[in-house]
Structure 1
Amino acid sequence: MDPAPRRATIADVARAAGVAPSTASVVFSGKAQVAQATREKVLAAAASLGYAGPDPRAASLRTGRSGIVAVVLEGPLRTVFLDPVTIAMMDGITDGLAELGAAVLLLREDATAAAANLTNAPVDAVVLIGWSGRTMASVEIVRGRGIPVVVIEGDAGEGIPQITLDNRDAARDVARHVHGLGHRDVAVLTLPLDSSHGRGPVTPERLASATVEVTIDRLDGVREVFPDAPAVSAAHSSIDEGLIAGRALLAGPESRPTAVLAQSDLLAAGVIRAAEERGLRVPQDISVTGFDGVTVDGLGPHILTTSVQPATQKGRAAGEQVTRMLRGEGAASQHLTCRFRVGTTTAMPAAR
């Protein structure tokens, strides 16, 4: 049997192009400027030899790094990527990692797989999105490995960079707007309270054991304005979940609130659909607010009153901090703010 053909090396390319190996290497690494004529000569030689670039396995052995950054998401990937906020954050993360040229590995944070994935995955750093009871366990695993970690929207403890959002203040701004219109009988539709993703009324007992900080902060912001506002939790952020909760909240004319404050734009869109099913006009009969400032299909003529969060910037900030740490530089936490936007889905309450 004939031996497998030898793979061309960067030295072969340099020899064929008539340049030093270091010059040929720079052409492929992009770490320094090379004259255009020299670059073209090196690339032509590489093409003729079938050389596609440095062997990533060799680079990994040389540097002790895999060139991979893990992004840990909670919940099934089939649902998280239906959320425009997650998509925007992922775009931002890849932007922030662009200078590293790192690949991104998506990991699902669940009870059975998270520990094994984070313990064994060949990654250089980890970005954790969201905060629940499982996140702290994930942080401890990563810290035990001695690799950098950044947490988006969660307090991971001293020494870990956090990318946070003014969830409480932003939710309070939305609530103040609704209060200023004259609403006093409002209901809140929250994101999940914990990793169980249970639906139903947010009782004091459930709230006391809640672990998702985003949900807790946004509810606290609303209750600064409406202390007695009843709340129900959704299983996750989606139009379908908003529709399910909206049908329950708007079921009876006597118990129906005059406004529903949803913790995501997707949930708000579902509430609007539930209102339309019952023949209610938005905002004449029921006001609805959201949170996120994303584009939602199916809203028709409505422009949602919401709080616009910098989702892409949030992801980019996380990616940039990972980049800094992998370069041996100091990293820092960043706090970002939302912008309140008045739309067409809120108005003065109608007379009962």
Structure 2
Amino acid sequence: MARQATAIKPVRLADVAKAAGVSHGTASNVFSHPEIVREEVRERVKAAADALGYAGPDPKGRLLRAGKVNAIGVATAEPLSYFFDDPFARVVMSGISEICDATGAGLSLVSAINGEHLAWNIQSALVDGFIVFCVEGNWQPVYLTRERKLPFVVLDFGYDEGALSAIGIDNKAGAKLAAEHLLAFGHRRFGVLALDFDEGSSGPVTARRAENATYSGTRDRLYGYLEALADAGIDAANVPIYETGNDVPTVHASLDYMFNLPEPPTALLAMSDRIAMIAIDWLKERGLSVPGDVSIIGFDGVPEAASCKPPLTTIAQPMQEMGRRAARAILDPGQAERRQEMPLELVVRESAGPVSAR
């Protein structure tokens, strides 16, 4: 008859203390507060631990007993690459990281396109709270973080629940400021290079498309543009609007469409700096000067906007400060405001100018 295997009993701290001839408290201090234990005692306990194969206390248990893990979770339904590839996300993360460095806190990136994976990642993350962003159209990260009953902040105003802690901007006001800047140069023929109104959609649209938009940021920026143009007597029906995916193929398609119109625009309102910079390259490749032939203004204020050629005029939001405030709100939730609207700034550079005499 085969002999039944005997389960190996895990080595405990009490076993190490007994082997070293010290109390349980002294053995615990060797691993958690070694500075208060005499050197010869430390060496004896460590030698006993090595002999027994004891690697040290389980950090998860210690953190859970303390009730605070000194770490921030950053959650999104986007793929992990979003944190590194998207210019907006990179700057926000730099602000979060700055506060973590200053306080010694850790960072945990929580992300998954698959909803089941996202649920597991959020439920199992060892963090003191969550910063949730890029969530419009998919509020699952908000619901899941709320279930954890930990502090959390949403970098968005699209979720209309007043009790939610949120940091964001007035997209409509920023877009209106952008259009007014180009109007002041005398432009009357405009084109709007929009972000997507719904996930995965692109193509020419009318102003009514915004009424049923999933993404409130895109909707509000369009409303801001059109309100400023209407105040100047420009009918929205005469403004070509193209929904892009904030990427090269769809931005190129939008420009092919607009510059094949009988009266192409002399001024472009781009809903992101990334769209604007792609457009500048497209225009230059076709012999159109910026701003000599076409003026363009972006939105966001990413660092790359200052170094493109020509440097991009844009509506800048304080992305790094948004990250800092979000991190502080998690580490010290008692000091956080419920709703923090961040200021916007018109950054005037060289991509916008007077309408061409041609």
Alpha-carbon distance in structure 1 between the residues aligned to 2:303 and 2:55: 40
Are residue 344 (structure 1) and residue 350 (structure 2) matched?
yes
Instruction: Note the C-alpha offset of 1:123.
Output: 4.4
Structure 2 partner of 1:203 = 206
Q: How big is the shift at 1:226?
A: 1.6
Report the AA paired with residue 353 of structure 2: A
The residue identity in structure 2 corresponding to 1:251 is N
- In the alignment, what sits opposite 2:184? 180
- Deviations along 1:298-348, one digit per CA (max 9) or x if unpaired, are 9653111111221111111111111123xxx25312211121111111122
In the superposition, relative to structure 1, how do residues 298 and 90 fare at CA in structure 2: closer, same or farther (>3 Å)?
closer
CA deviation profile, 1:253-296 (whole Å, cap 9, x unmatched) = x2311111101111001111221222111111111111122233
**Counterpart mapping for 1:1-352 below 5 A:** 25=32, 55-64=58-67, 68-79=71-82, 81-98=84-101, 99=103, 101-108=105-112, 113-119=117-123, 121-135=125-139, 137-156=140-159, 157-194=161-198, 196-204=199-207, 206-227=209-230, 228=236, 229-235=239-245, 237-239=246-248, 241-252=250-261, 254-296=262-304, 301-325=309-333, 329-332=334-337, 333-352=339-358
How far 1:115 sits from its partner (Å)?
4.2
Query: In structure 2, how many angstroms separate the alpha carbons of the residues matched to 1:144 and 1:335?
Result: 26
The SS at the match of 1:85 is helix
Distance, in Å, in 1 between the alignment partners of 2:206 and 2:28 is 68
Q: Provide structure 1 residue ranges, at least 5 long, that are not aligned to the other structure.
A: 28-33
**Any idea what the Cα deviations from partners look like across 1:93-134, whole Å, max 9, x if unmatched?**
233344362331231355564445445555442221134221
CA contact (8 A) 1:68 1:123 kept: yes
Change (3 A) 1:95 1:345: same
Closer, same or farther in 2 for the Cα pair 1:103/1:138, shift >3 Å? Answer: closer
Please give the root-mean-square deviation of Cα atoms over the aligned residues, in Å: 3.8
> Is the deviation greater in 304-313 or in 156-165?
156-165
TM-score calculated relative to the size of structure 2: 0.77
Name the SS for the 2:112 alignment partner.
strand
Aligned residue for 2:315, secondary structure, equals strand
Question: Percent identity, aligned pairs only?
Answer: 30
Q: 1:77 to 1:60 in 2, by over 3 A?
A: same
Distance 1:158 1:206, change over 3 A: same
Task: Check the 8 A contact 1:243/1:273 in 2, yes or no.
Answer: no
2:244 aligned partner, one-letter code: A
Where do 5+ consecutive residues of structure 2 fail to align? 1-7, 231-235
Checking the alignment, whether the CA contact within 8 Å between 2:110 and 2:118 is kept in structure 1 is no
- Secondary structure of residue in 1 paired with 2:288: coil
Between the aligned partners of 2:346 and 2:89, the Cα distance in structure 1 is: 20
Give the alignment's TM-score, normalised by structure 1. Answer: 0.78
Using the alignment, how far apart are the partners of 1:259 and 1:204 within structure 2? 18
Counterpart of 2:173 in structure 1: which amino acid? D
CA distance in 1, matches of 2:306, 2:128: 41
Structure 2 residue identity aligned to 1:276: K
Q: Match for residue 31 of structure 1?
A: none
Residue type at the aligned position of 1:342:
V
- Residue 30 of structure 1 corresponds to none
- Distance in 1 (CA, whole Å) between partners of 2:305 and 2:211 is 35
